[in-house]
Structure 1
Amino acid sequence: MTADETTITAYPDGPLIVRGAVMYRNEAGEEIRQPRRTVALCRCGVSAIKPWCDGTHKLIGFSTTPELPGE
């Protein structure tokens, strides 16, 4: 990975980890200041600090494993 490369990694049962420079915008199109070069974005929808992850996914048992039909 080069210094100016951006990567997004989806962690099983956890957040999206974004490394590198990215422009974040809210639903109104306004820029959200990136707090640091590497951030964790919420995927469970329960974080108190959205769009950033606060670890709540662990408390609620969030799973990224798809349910099979009939389960």
Structure 2
Amino acid sequence: MSPEQPAGDLEPVRDPSAAPGPAEPVTITVCPDGPLLVRGGYELLDGDDRPIDPGRATVALCRCGASSIKPFCDGSHKRARFRAR
């Protein structure tokens, strides 16, 4: 600790050679008659295993096939009257 930095302001420093901590769990929530909500430490890949940048931490993935922004949901399931158990 340096004299300029009070003890209460210390932040933990991760050792770059240390093993990574536990990954954030991924949850997938099935919305009734709607999309799949994906949260957590996920990686989204296209059909050729190339990463897709979702631009956010939680994404809604289309299940109805009617979205104009696949694989993401745009709400088209409502107009298409998509139903799923």
TM-score, normalised to structure 2, is 0.69
Q: Which runs of 4+ in 1 moved over 4 A?
A: none
Gaps of 5+ in 2: 1-22
Tell me the matched-pair count: 63
Which residue number in structure 2 is paired with residue 56 of structure 1?
Answer: 76
Residues of 2 paired with 1:19 and 1:56: CA distance? 21
Per the TM alignment, residue 34 of structure 1 is displaced from its structure 2 partner at its CA by 2.3
Deviation string, structure 1 residues 10-36 (Cα, Å, up to 9, x no partner): 011000001112111111221111211
Deviation string, structure 1 residues 9-64 (Cα, Å, up to 9, x no partner): 00110000011121111112211112111110000011000000000000010000
The structure whose Rg is larger is 2
Higher relative contact order (Cα pairs below 8 Å, separated by 6+ residues): 1
RMSD (Å) for aligned C-alpha atoms: 1.4
Gaps of 5+ in 1: 66-71
Pick the structure with more strand per residue: 1
TM-score, normalised to structure 1, is 0.81
